[in-house]
């Protein structure tokens, strides 16, 4: 074999080696991108699943659950577009698609059970507020029913204001127990302002307003009671002083008559 042929063969082998190496790198890059996409969609689906479970005991409405379930289903479908043989995604897609046919849970038909501790209420308000932000963020994504998203936000806003009202009342009761009457009245007034934003023709709102007025009168009565006690004590002291006369006279020499 001539030298020229050997050189040509070496060049061909080098080109094939470079080409093979580039092809293998390309395949690895495609696989990496595929894994990255799958991980992204799986993360979103898991986040939706956790969110769905986290609010299973709160009356967030069927509309809210519909939006969350649609978000889960859409991301599971995207996983299967990238990896059609993903058994976990197939299984979860079937499960959450079934839940989407009847999204309401028993908690949605019940009244909100508010915690007795104001701090726990504040934490719950934070959870509801974060859920509102999430629904607002995904409400216009493909696969999400925009009408359900709107009704979900309206319900969550109502739920948040309800929690806020109960929080004000709970703090007011705590201030009342501490005899901080001015602060108690301030929180009661804030609670009343929130209630007046609602439909005051609603029997539940009217009942809350009546309870709030009764509690306000109780605070005002207790606020006035110490003032009245001080007035009575002052009057008694003045009467005692009058009965004794001038205290300096008690220590003067007796007058001779």
Pair of tokens at residue 242: 């009058």
Residues 6+ apart with CB under 8 A from 238: none
Tell me how far apart the alpha carbons of residues 40 and 43 are, in angstroms, rounded to a whole number. 5
- Backbone φ, ψ for residue 200 (5° rounding): -70, -10
Residue with tokens 């809350």: 208
Highest-pLDDT range among 7-16, 17-26, 203-212: 203-212
35-39, 159-163, 179-183, 239-243: least confident range: 239-243
Residue with tokens 């936000």: 153
Tell me how far apart the alpha carbons of residues 141 and 231 are, in angstroms, rounded to a whole number. 68
- Taking only the tens place, the pLDDT of each residue in 173-212 is 989 889 999 999 999 999 999 888 888 788 888 888 899 8
Q: Which residues of 46-83 are buried (b: 16+ CB within 10 A; e: fewer)?
A: eebbebbeebeebbbbbbbbbbbbbbbbbbbebbeebb
Tell me how far apart the alpha carbons of residues 46 and 1 are, in angstroms, rounded to a whole number. 64
Q: What is the pLDDT of residue 154?
A: 94
The answer on pLDDT for 25 being more than 80 is: no
- Taking only the tens place, the pLDDT of each residue in 47-83 is 999 999 999 999 999 999 999 999 999 999 999 999 9
Q: What is the pLDDT of residue 248?
A: 45
**How far is C-alpha 35 from the geometric centre of its chain's CA atoms?**
33
What DSSP designation does 255 have? P
Q: What is the pLDDT of residue 26?
A: 67
**How far is C-alpha 20 from the geometric centre of its chain's CA atoms?**
55
């Amino acid at each position: 074999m001539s030298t020229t042929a050997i050189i040509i063969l070496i060049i061909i082998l080098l080109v094939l080696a470079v080409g093979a190496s580039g092809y293998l790198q390309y395949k690895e890059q495609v696989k990496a991108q595929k894994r990255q996409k799958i991980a992204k969609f799986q993360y979103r689906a898991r986040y939706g699943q956790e969110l769905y479970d986290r609010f299973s005991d709160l009356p967030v409405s069927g509309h809210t659950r519909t939006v969350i379930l649609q978000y889960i289903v859409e991301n599971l479908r995207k996983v299967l577009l990238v990896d059609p043989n993903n058994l976990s995604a197939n299984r979860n897609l079937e499960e959450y698609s079934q839940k989407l046919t009847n999204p309401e849970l028993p908690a949605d038909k019940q009244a909100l059970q508010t915690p007795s501790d104001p701090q726990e209420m504040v934490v719950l308000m934070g959870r509801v507020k974060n859920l509102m932000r999430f629904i607002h963020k995904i409400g216009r994504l493909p696969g999400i029913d925009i009408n359900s998203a709107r009704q979900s936000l309206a319900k969550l806003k109502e739920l948040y204001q309800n929690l806020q009202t109960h929080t004000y009342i709970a703090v007011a009761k705590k201030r009342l127990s501490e005899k901080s009457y001015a602060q108690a009245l301030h929180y009661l007034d804030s609670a009343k302002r929130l209630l007046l934003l609602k439909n005051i023709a609603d029997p539940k709102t009217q009942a809350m307003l009546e309870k709030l007025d009764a509690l306000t009168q109780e605070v005002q009565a207790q606020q006035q009671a110490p003032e009245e006690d001080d007035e009575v004590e002052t009057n008694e002291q003045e009467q005692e002083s009058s009965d004794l006369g001038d205290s300096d006279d008690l220590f003067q020499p007796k007058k001779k008559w």
